């Protein structure tokens, strides 16, 4: 089963802008929306971005999402120490009658 490809790690200093990429294919990101989840240490994941670039209520506008072709990106501006977490992208894959596929996750470290 295919997996959306994310870099295993990313880092930045407080105040910086960091981007995390998510690469897929025509059967998933290329034809469906992308959602992003934030998982703080020891907690359940939380919806961060949905439908490529929309933020649920309560998510700071420092977080933004974009999609182009078969890739998507999560950008975090004004990086804060509390942003240190694992980030996962997810999409629907149209193959095999359809299923949800997650990226492998990116561990963000705030230096």
Partner 1 sequence: QVQLQESGPGLVKPSETLSLTCTVSGASISSYYWSWIRQPPGKGLEWIGYIYYSGSTNYNPSLKSRITTSVDTSKKQFSLKLSSVTAADTAVYYCARAGGPPHNWFDPWGQGTLVIVSS
Residue 101 token pair: 């596929």
| Least gap, CB of 82 to partner 1 (angstroms) | 19
In the complex with partner 1, the residue whose CB is nearer, 83 or 103, is 103
E-strand spans in 2-98? Answer: 9-12, 18-23, 34-39, 46-49, 63-68, 71-76, 85-93
| Least gap, CB of 51 to partner 1 (angstroms) | 7
In the complex with partner 1, the residue whose CB is nearer, 12 or 104, is 104
Residues that bind partner 1 (CB under 8 A): 1, 32-33, 35, 37, 43-47, 50-51, 56, 88, 90-92, 94, 96-105
| Least gap, CB of 48 to partner 1 (angstroms) | 10
In the complex with partner 1, the residue whose CB is nearer, 14 or 56, is 56
| Least gap, CB of 62 to partner 1 (angstroms) | 19
Q: Are strands 85-93 and 34-39 parallel, antiparallel or unpaired?
A: antiparallel
The C-alpha atoms of residue 28 and residue 102 are separated, in whole angstroms, by 10
State whether residue 98 is helix, strand or coil. Answer: coil
In the complex with partner 1, the residue whose CB is nearer, 12 or 94, is 94
Whose CA is closest to 65, among 17, 13, 20?
20
């Amino acid at each position: 089963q295919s997996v959306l490809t994310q870099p295993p790690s990313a880092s930045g200093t407080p105040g910086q802008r960091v981007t995390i990429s998510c690469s897929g294919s025509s059967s998933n990101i290329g034809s469906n929306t992308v959602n992003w989840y934030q998982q703080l240490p020891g907690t359940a994941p939380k919806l961060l971005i949905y439908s490529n670039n929309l933020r649920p209520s309560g998510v700071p506008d420092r977080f933004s999402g974009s999609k182009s072709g078969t890739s998507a990106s999560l950008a975090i501006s004004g990086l804060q120490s509390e942003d240190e977490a694992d980030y996962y992208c997810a999409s629907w894959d149209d193959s095999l009658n359809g299923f949800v596929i997650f990226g492998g996750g990116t561990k963000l470290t705030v230096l």
